[in-house]
Amino acid sequence: MLKIGLIGYGAIGQDIIKYINEGKAGDVMLKAVLVRRKEQYESQISDLFYDNEEAFFALGLDVIIEAAGHEAVYKYGKTSLSSGSDFVIASVGALADDTLLAELETAAKHNNSRIIIPSAAIAGLDRVAASMLQSVDEVKLVTKKPPSAWRGTIAEEKIDLNTVKEPFCIYSGVARESSKLFPESTNVSATLSLAGVGFDKTKVEVYVDPTITRNTHQIFVNGYFGEMEVKVQNIPSATNPKTGYIVAMSICNALKSRTSSIVIGV
């Protein structure tokens, strides 16, 4: 049985705990949750919550899951990998920083641990990665989310979210920049970049779309293998519309694959 640690107790983290407790994440056991202030969770299972980082990383965890934002990847990624734990990253956009990515890769190699990036909000990454064995002409991502998903982001500087009536493009460029501009909303562009042609060659368009109610991502790939077009529509989380329920589900499926005798979609 794998011992699991979780960093963060927001919408994604709470859903992950739910699925683990329901036995839907494979042969795993949640051992600890790292939070900023343990006293905030006195009504929860108190012995699961840690605000002492040294104590958390000394638990001998097999897998540590980051579900707390880009800052947590910077702060805890190397420590997690150096402790011998595999590190599952939800906030993949942080890896647009080449220095951070190299640091984490080095830590993983030196400590026989792995960086695990789940599909999360998109699909088809196995096909994208396989297509890289030959030439690829274009990889493009088009992300559209309703106005509620963009509150508290720089989108508010570009468009009035209360009055927008038609789809409005708030960004057109490449994944390296979009990952930094929209850290909670375009982690998908970072994941796609790592599976495919990289942050500087992956084209990205981002829209505020008042005509939809679901977070929508479309992937377009053209190359030696042929053509690929994938569209997903994710129901936003009720507690955090910037993300969808599928993110926690994808992370738990990745955990399940670690202990399953059959692995599908690699």
For the chain, the structural domain boundaries read 2-121+246-259, 125-242
Per residue in 91-127, pLDDT (tens digit) is: 999 999 999 999 999 999 999 999 999 988 889 999 9
pLDDT at residue number 166: 96
Q: Give the DSSP per-residue string, 86-130.
A: EEEES-GGGGGSHHHHHHHHHHHHHTT--EE---TT---HHHHHH
Judging by beta carbons within 10 Å of its beta carbon (0-12, 13-18, 19+), is residue 154 exposed, middle or buried?
Answer: exposed
The pLDDT mean for the chain works out to: 93
State yes or no: pLDDT of 131 exceeds 70. yes
Q: Smallest Cα–Cα separation from 15: which of 243, 249, 257, 256? A: 249
pLDDT at residue number 186: 75
Per residue in 162-214, pLDDT (tens digit) is: 999 999 999 999 999 998 888 777 789 999 999 999 999 999 999 999 999 99
The residue that leads in pLDDT, 194 or 265, is 194
pLDDT at residue number 197: 96
CATH assignment, 125-242? 3.30.360.10
Q: Smallest Cα–Cα separation from 221: which of 122, 144, 146? A: 122
Per residue in 40-91, pLDDT (tens digit) is: 776 666 689 999 999 999 999 999 999 999 999 999 999 999 999 999 999 9
Rounded distance between C-alpha atoms, residue 115 and residue 88, angstroms: 6
pLDDT at residue number 37: 85
Question: Do 2-121+246-259 and 125-242 share a fold?
Answer: no
Q: Which residues are known to be catalytic?
A: 217
State yes or no: pLDDT of 13 exceeds 80. yes
Three-state secondary structure call for residue 198? coil
Q: Which CATH superfamily is domain 2-121+246-259 in?
A: NAD(P)-binding Rossmann-like Domain (3.40.50.720)
Q: What residues pair up with 119 in beta bridges, in sequence order?
A: none
| CA atoms lying within 13 Å on the CB side of residue 235 | 5
